[in-house]
Amino acid sequence: MNWNQWLNMGGYGAYVWSAYGLTAIVLVWNWLSPLLRRREVMRKLKSWYRQEERLP
Amino acid sequence: MWAFFHKLASPKHFYRITGSWIPWLWAVTLLFMIPGLYLGLWVAPPDYQQGDSFRIMYVHVPAAWMSLFIYVFMAVTGGIGLIWNMKMADIMAASSAPVGASFTFLALVTGAIWGKPMWGTWWVWDARLTSELILLFLYLGYIALHSAIDDPRTAARAAAILAIVGSVNIPIIHYSVEWWNTLHQGPTVTRLDKPAIHPSMLWPLLLMAGAFQVYFFTVLLMRARSELLWRERRARWVRELFGNSAGTTVSNTQSNSDKAVT
């Protein structure tokens, strides 16, 4: 079996690869969004503690 | 064993213990996913009825299983939080909701992509598809309700009740292909007698299901760890880790966070 045949997926290539592509997007999103959330929490924590120090 | 779980219920210990788990969980996820993809996309022979389109099954079925599993996980942890007023349980329930919603979305869309060449239509309003769509709305409703209420305890309680009430939908989704006459095919793996699928096609499915399962716990822990830091911002251990008086930058504390708390 060669590469082109494999990518063609017996004529269902567009369906198979779009399903797998979408899966990849969802998996990457679920991995990146906690990382971004962590950065946001770090930033919020910093400003929260800073504000707290300013209060008497 | 119980002492270990008891320790995990404390945010401070949870944060410390789970920090070292995440790289290992990623490794296990890949250990399942790479052979699963190789066997599923390359080794397994085309189906005698569906040709190569059946390979969509290896992402569609694990995503659909996870959409149900995560919902049950969310309802159970939400219930634990409701009964014992446990903060960690609510953090787990709230952190699992977006992951569950994304898997439900994935199951619906990959199902539509599979349905088009096999059934001739992207969508039908049959029992299986409709109940899975309701599941997506339950997840979205949970997320919206949880974020709409400012007080974290009230938010946790209201969202947990929604999750528990909504769990009646879970058996409906599971049995929908048996109770109603639907276009969706019946179960091939979870049958009481022998599964109606050849081992060369079953193995990649089991590996992908395992990969999705471990992946869920990995991203769940990542989410939960940030969430608990914010909710515990008044606690001394978070202050010591990330407070300005500690004089450490964010990037420093991030890499040392697991060793710093002892």
In this structure, is residue A37 part of a structural domain? yes
DSSP secondary structure letter of residue A40: H
User: Where does residue B189 rank: exposed (0-12), middle (13-18), buried (19+ CB within 10 A)?
Assistant: middle
What does pLDDT average to over chain B?
88
B187 close to B9: Cβ distance less than 8 angstroms? no
Is residue A2 in a domain? no
**Region B121-129 average pLDDT:** 89
pTM, two decimal places: 0.88
List average pLDDT for each run of 10 residues in chain A, which is 56 residues long: 84 93 97 96 91 77
pLDDT tens readout for residues B193-206: 666 788 888 999 99
Determine, yes or no, domain membership for A39.
yes
Q: Would you say residue B254 has pLDDT above 70? A: no
Higher model confidence: residue B93 or residue B260? B93
Residue B147 predicted with pLDDT over 70: yes
State pLDDT tens for residues B224-251: 999 999 999 989 999 888 876 654 444 4
Residue type, B245: S
Q: Among B140, B145, B159, which Cα is nearest to B98's?
A: B140
Residue of B100 and A46 predicted with greater confidence: B100
For residue A12, give the DSSP letter.
T
Residue A49 covered by a domain: yes
> Under a CB-based contact definition with an 8 Å cutoff, are residues B109 and B159 in contact?
no
Amino acid at B103: F
A55 in helix, strand or coil?
A: coil
Q: Which of residues 209-238 of B touch A (CB under 8 A)?
A: 215, 219, 222-223, 225-227, 229-230, 233, 238
3-state secondary structure chain B: CHHHHHHHCCHHHHHHHHHCHHHHHHHHHHHHHHHHHHHHHHHCCCECCCEHHHHHHHHHHHHHHHHHHHHHHHHHHHHHHHHHCCHHHHHHHHHHHHHHHHHHHHHHHHHHHHHHHHHCCCCCCCHHHHHHHHHHHHHHHHHHHHHHCCCHHHHHHHHHHHHHHHCCHHHHHHHHHHHCCCCCCCCCCCCCCCCCCCHHHHHHHHHHHHHHHHHHHHHHHHHHHHHHHHHCCCCHHHHHHHCHHHCCCHHHHHHHHHHHCC
Q: Which of B223, B251, B252, B254 has the most A C-beta neighbours within 10 Å, making it the best mutation to test the interface with A? A: B223
Domain ranges of chain B: 19-231, 235-262
Nearest to A42 by CA among B249, B70, B177: B249
In a domain, A10, yes or no: no
- Our CA-based measurement puts residue A3 at a distance from the nearest CA of chain B, in whole angstroms, of 11
How many distinct structural domains can be found in chain A?
Answer: 1
What is the C-alpha separation between B87 and B72, in angstroms, rounded? 18
Place B70 in a pLDDT band, splitting at 50, 70 and 90.
Answer: very high
**Range(s) of the domain holding residue A41:** 24-56
Confirm whether A43 is domain-assigned.
Answer: yes
Best of B57, B226, B255 to disrupt the A interface by mutation (most A CBs within 10 Å)?
B226
Instruction: Tell me, yes or no, whether A53 lies in a domain.
Output: yes
What is the radius of gyration, based on Cα positions, of chain A? 23
Domain for residue A17, yes or no? no
- Cβ separation B110–A23 shorter than 8 A: yes
ipTM: 0.91
Interface residue A50 vs chain B (CB under 8 A):
yes
